Structure 1
Amino acid sequence: MNFTLRVWRQDGPTTSGRFEEYPAKNIPDEASFLEMLDIVNEELEKAGKESVQFDHDCREGICGMCSLTINGVPHGPGRGTTCQLYMRKFQDGDVITIEPFRVGAFPILRDLAVNRTALDKVIQAGGFITARTGSAPDANSVPIPKVIADESMDAAACIGCGACAAACPNSSAMLFVSAKAAHLGLLPQGKPESERRTVRMVRTMDDLGFGNCSNYYACEAVCPAGISASFIARLNRQYTSAAAREAVGATTI
């Protein structure tokens, strides 16, 4: 298969960027999108040109580092991460536009690689519990209804790739924040910090420059883990309640 790539090139976060075109020739249809970029980079290096910089790690759909916007869609067509996207999803001769995630809170490091430290800062604000660590407790020592355990596990599936913010017209990270708050807050071990976690994580998200949710549902559409936007509604209810209690002095955040 042969393609024409329109790739965003940018030398650093403070420099201006531009699109450059590269041919991608003789690409196997079973190659992943990242493997296709590897092949293109090998040809660029043979020609004495600088390779395209992009982020990746596990290439197994787990880490979420392969944060590319492909033809305007974070992670490209279909449900999954960029490393799980295969070239058979495209037609021979297609022109493919590749950009980094366009989120103000994710400054571009170089070319297609962005700095997603902002998500780490949101986690640091409240993504933890104060339960004692050490030896594993007995499985039946804290009874948890299966429906609650299942909902918590659904939220915990979030890999923190940032595609939700990249897809949102407001660059909102509410799907990410709501999932991280829910998977801890639903379980009894995470209840003591529930109010503080909710308020601190939402306020940190705002301080870092992410926008607010306007119910476009673009986040849910591109999430590779299939996180439901219903978690955002849950977070909004929790935040309203916790902020009101803080305002009247009923709790300390």
Structure 2
Amino acid sequence: MNAMTSPTPTRLLMIEDDARLAQMVTDYLGQSGFAVTHAPAGEQGLEQLQMIQPELVILDLMMPGMDGLEVCRRIRAMPNENARVPVLMLTAKGDPMDRIIGLELGADDYLPKPFEPRELLARIRAVLRRRGEPGGSAATTRSSPVLRFGSLEIDRDARTVQVAGQLCELTSYQFDLLVAMAERAGRVLTRDQIMEAVRGRELEAFDRSIDVHIGRIRTAIEVDSKDPKRILTVRGVGYVFAKQQE
């Protein structure tokens, strides 16, 4: 008789100093097919990241010792594939500047405490869906995985971006924002339309964090991010990805 094999759970790493919250999240996400490893401090979290290579990191902002911003900074500076792991940042602080700083450091999403476990699950699934990981849903089919605009090359399957042969560093969320705009090159898109194309309809766009991400994308792909030629601002409306590029 052949044994039935269950699907491999999606690995998550939660770096959080609140043990009760971490246990609640671990139990809740475990019911949805996720295996959560908990690290109670930043240093331990970085060690666990290297050991288990998770599909996503849930990172608390306010921790004693090394805070979440420094942890995020160190993750993005890693010289290996771990630098690209999606980071979902949690915080009890409501200051919009904390959110902006976290996004600028490379966080993919941001969820303030207290939060509903269902919203955390929805956001995790949205991030993983953008990455095409097992915890998300099936990716949209398309004719060619590579988009080319002059010297800019976007490989949707490899999830890499190159300009004149040089790799560009983007978070998974920023990569998907770029793809969403590139697939609609020449069309003026509002912020809500861009967010909807990336997130799907289950979550609402929040504030103007889209502008922070687009600023980071411009820094990566533009010759001069202060005088962009690839992603253009349409005042009072949103953005347009230029069809004709050098």
Q: TM-score, normalised by structure 2?
A: 0.36
Of structures 1 and 2, the larger Rg is shown by 1
